[in-house]
A and B are shown apart, each in its own frame.
Chain A
């Protein structure tokens, strides 16, 4: 399984010059807690940052600023960690640990955004893999017991 296969493709995007207020509207309408900030170039969306609902609370509301007067480029993180769509999930997990992030935009070879991968998505996938392995072991044990008789 790689990043491109597991990522969520319906990712909500915004532009660096969009306001915190419009980002919040997008989060409300898209039922999401984060969006990827992109520069549109040659028909591709090049990711340049991520903004979460927590960023809005800490960097806009806690400092008493008006959401309509803050642009996303002013509050998004300085460094964006992206992952290539062909990266194996275990390597993505290592990358998240190294960089201390819980979500990564997934990009293609041209650097264009194709989706977003979150830590929670990966935990869920690992949990399902583990459950499948446990079921397999149980089946084998039952089979062995049957053969022993």
Chain B
């Protein structure tokens, strides 16, 4: 199975200059915890999650109406390609301790997203192994430790 066969799309997006409040509203309305950040030309420039907003805005005393998405997003996006085997996404989840992996096409444009729960429906046994690794992120560094900016 390839990543493009299992990925979810469309992916909810937000632009880098929008406010964090706008991003939070989109997360609420779509009932999701991650948005892809794309510039005006549609290029993927980052992702923003519940955790990013909590750690980099709430904890830092920032204002949700005066802070831009690009100031709290994670610019280094863990990604795989649409043509990659699903195992590539699973390995990335374990190595990077992330429960969601962004999928891009051969021109590096945003194509979809694969989450741990997608893997779980496809391969329950495999999912348990991945989950164990991913869940450890809150207890282990360095991936669980994010910049305190």
Binding site for B on A (CB under 8 A): 20-21, 23-25, 27-28, 31-33, 53-54, 56-58, 60-68, 120-121, 123-124, 127-128, 130-131
Contacts and interface: CB of A to CB of B under 8 A. Distances in A.
Q: Is the interface of B mostly helix, strand, loop or mixed?
A: helix
A123 to B, nearest CB: 6
B138 A64 contact: no
Contact of B20 (A27, A54, A61, A130): A61
Given A61-B21, A62-B27, A120-B131, A28 B59 contact: yes
Contacts of B127: 127
A57 B54 contact: yes
Contacts of B54: 24, 27-28, 33, 53, 56-57
A61 B57 contact: yes
Contact of A131 (B21, B128, B131, B148): B128
A25 B59 CA distance: 5
A63 B25 CA distance: 8
Given A33-B51, A58-B24, A120 B58 contact: no
